[in-house]
Amino acid sequence: MKTRTLGRLGPEVSALGLGCMGLSFGLGPATDRGDAVRLMRDAVERGVTFFDTAQIYGPFTNEEVVGEALAPFRDRVVIATKFGFDFDPDGKPTGALNSRPESIRLTTEGSLRRLGVERIDLLYQHRVDPAVPIEDVAGTVRELIVEGKAQHFGLSEAGVRTVRRAHAVQPVAALQSEYSLWWREPEQEVLPVLEELGIGFVPFSPLGKGFLTGKIDETTAFDAGDFRNTVPRFAPENRKANQAVVDVVRTMAARKGVTPAQLALAWVLAQRAWIVPIPGTTKRHRLEENLGAVNVELTPDELREIDAATSTIPVQGHRYSEASQRMIDR
């Protein structure tokens, strides 16, 4: 497995990480715990050293299963988790954001316990909380780093102004946001600022929430608990219109002798040397397929052809529900 370093100050990790959310949250019924543990351990044996979870996934159960799976490999892996959502006294999510310093401290202690670790390698703010100055958030994480409870600070779905303000207080190792051939907005402002500041980029949904694999069309029925049912971009009429993007990926992949998923991931990897995508999966054969993308080399001519073919296709539908869209900092 090839490795990459997240920015100038971040950790060295496998070139492809594993997004663990779908193992217990967001895609219907949770994966059997034993199967989830085996999948993550298979990933480690195949060279994956970067695993992404969050408090809200479950909530909490995802951190627990990640902690169990990775306990035998603690010295070989980098674990990222996220704070920033509010929970009631019974531990149920309220649906609100909460990055008050006292909440960061309290919920981070919970993450440490569930993950079974003394230090969180990469601690993200999951969503920017407009009620709490980002300087207070960064300062609190800085204190946790000094105390040895966290090693690196990250932001998720933060806009460039927020990134600059946070970075001035505590260096940001990585920004996590959606990025793929299906969502290229980060190229406009985010990537140039990250390059300037020496911050790594961790794209989630690099396969367009599964759409770029070519396995989803307008007739696909998702499980009742699958969050894609709430995403406008996945409305049947939009899936039908957006097949044009998949057609380009499928054609290029066939010519290259790889799968559409491998081509889509290879494209993301080719954009910057400090980009580390975290595709998620619940299946071993998909894990192996995704990891094969690390060895797919796209030539400059191929990259230009992909850009030319996809740049003229208008993608239909928003990537979040209206409620989730309001939590995005831009």
pTM of the model: 0.98
Q: Which two tokens stand for residue 186?
A: 């980060």
In the predicted structure, residue 273 carries a pLDDT above the cut 90 = yes
Give Cα 233 to chain centroid, integer Å: 18
In the predicted structure, residue 275 carries a pLDDT above the cut 90 = yes
CA atoms within 13 A on the CB side of 234: 18
Q: What is the pLDDT of residue 106?
A: 97
Phi/psi of residue 223, each to 5°? -60, 150
Q: Any idea of the CA torsion for 241, 246, 251, 252, to the nearest 10 degrees?
A: 130
The enclosing domain of 212 has a CATH number of 3.20.20.100
In the predicted structure, residue 165 carries a pLDDT above the cut 90 = yes
What domain count does the chain have?
Answer: 1
In the predicted structure, residue 271 carries a pLDDT above the cut 90 = yes
Does any domain span residue 131? Answer: yes
Letter for the amino acid at 11?
A: P
Confidence of residue 64 (pLDDT cuts 50, 70, 90): very high
Confidence of residue 12 (pLDDT cuts 50, 70, 90): very high
Nearest to 309 by CA among 234, 253, 236, 257: 253
* pLDDT tens sequence across 193-207: 999 999 999 999 999
In whole angstroms, give the CA distance from residue 200 to residue 6.
4
Q: What is the pLDDT of residue 136?
A: 98
In the predicted structure, residue 298 carries a pLDDT above the cut 90 = yes
Does any domain span residue 177? Answer: yes
Using a 10 angstrom Cβ sphere, with 0-12 exposed, 13-18 middle and 19 or more buried, the burial of residue 248 is: buried
Mean pLDDT of 97-109: 98
Element (H, E) at 204: strand 200-204
Q: What letter does residue 280 receive in the DSSP assignment?
A: B
Note if 320 is an active site residue. no
Confidence of residue 145 (pLDDT cuts 50, 70, 90): very high
Q: Which structural domain, as residue segments, surrounds residue 309? A: 3-325
Q: What letter does residue 158 receive in the DSSP assignment?
A: -
Mean pLDDT of 304-311: 94
In whole angstroms, give the CA distance from residue 294 to residue 290.
8
Give Cα 128 to chain centroid, integer Å: 16
Does any domain span residue 330? Answer: no
Q: What is the pLDDT of residue 311?
A: 87
Mean pLDDT of 78-99: 96
Give the DSSP per-residue string, 65-105.
HHHHHHGGGGGG-EEEEEE-EEE-TTS-EEEEE---HHHHH
Does any domain span residue 15? Answer: yes
In whole angstroms, give the CA distance from residue 318 to residue 299.
31
- Exposure string (b/e) for 83-121, b if CB count within 10 Å is 16 or more? bbbbbeeeeeeeeebbbbeebbbebbebbbebbebeebb
Q: What is the pLDDT of residue 286?
A: 98
* pLDDT tens sequence across 110-131: 999 999 999 999 999 999 999 9
In whole angstroms, give the CA distance from residue 135 to residue 147.
18
- pLDDT > 90 in the chain, percent: 98
In the predicted structure, residue 68 carries a pLDDT above the cut 90 = yes
In the predicted structure, residue 225 carries a pLDDT above the cut 90 = yes
Q: What is the pLDDT of residue 74?
A: 96
Task: State the distance between the two ends of the chain, measured CA to CA, in whole angstroms.
Answer: 34
In the predicted structure, residue 330 carries a pLDDT above the cut 90 = no
In whole angstroms, give the CA distance from residue 82 to residue 86.
12
Does any domain span residue 226? Answer: yes
Q: What is the pLDDT of residue 184?
A: 95
Query: 91 Cβ partners below 8 Å, 6+ apart?
Result: 59, 60
Does any domain span residue 117? Answer: yes
Mean pLDDT of 225-241: 96
CA angle 44, 151, 41 (to 5 degrees): 10
Q: Which two tokens stand for residue 295?
A: 């060895």
Element (H, E) at 177: strand 172-178
